[in-house]
Amino acid sequence: MVDASLQGVASILVVEDDDAIRTAVHRGLRARDYAVATVATGLAGLEHVLREGPDVVLLDLGLPDIDGLTLISMVRTASNVPIIVITARDDDPTMVRALDAGADDYVVKPFGTEQVAARIRAVLRRGRPGSTPTPALKVGGLVVDERSRTVTLDGEPVELARKEFDLLHLLASRAGEVVSKRELLAEVWQQAWGGSERTVDVHLSWLRRKLGESAASPRYLHSIRGVGVRLAPPEEPAVAETGS
């Protein structure tokens, strides 16, 4: 149960079946003044999310009753709570599946409590109301509207996940500029140091697919090898000159 004396601070739910890890994370986060609740099974975690509405969920993928990837999808049907995966699985395919299912971040065991606390601070910062949204950004036939968090391409709606939208909006706000992956990690994921550029690559791949392009045949998203990414309108087809 969450200590009533900690009301008003961020509430963290830890879904982890390993007693030692669960206890260590609980102790470390409580020492940093978070309100912490812990459960050992996925279904108990889902019930807690629906009942209590925590601010952040730390989720192990290897749960005894339900696969963590499945649980992420189940939570996403009912809540936008930030989910940070904590797991021993350090392969890229697992990371991609977790992000694709709706996770916001990914920490590989073994990890230090301060590392986890830093990731929590990052996702909480991203969830705070910011300044007044900017007017819709238009780049060629692409329109990115921060107010409604909608995107249209040539008049047709494009459905994007939260991080996909944030990434596209940042690139659209700097249309024509080359933005480094390190800058993207810092601005979109608040991971200026220690974050994996693979995270950016994965989301760019999803964005390209939804915009109907590919890295080999780009229209809007252009990767500049060793530098970064540039969002620019498609080049107008050349018009053949005709003689008088």
Ramachandran region, residue 185 (left: φ > 0; alpha: ψ -120 to 50; beta: rest): alpha
pLDDT recorded at residue 5: 34
Query: Mean pLDDT in the chain?
Result: 84
Window from 13-22, 76-85, 192-201, 203-212 with minimum mean pLDDT: 192-201
Tell me the average pLDDT across 169-188. 87
Q: How many residues make up the chain in this entry?
A: 244
Whether the per-residue pLDDT at 7 is higher than 60: the answer is no
Domains and CATH numbers, the chain: 4-127 (3.40.50.2300), 137-231 (1.10.10.10)
Residue type, 21: I
Check whether 194 has a pLDDT greater than 70: no
Identify the weakest region by mean pLDDT among 25-39, 127-141, 147-161: 127-141
Which of 82-86, 142-146, 161-165 shows the lowest mean pLDDT across its residues? 161-165
The whole-number pLDDT of residue 193 equals: 55
Would you state the structure tokens that stand for residue 113, as one six-digit string? 């409590």
pTM of the model: 0.56
C-alpha span between 153 and 96 (Å, rounded): 25
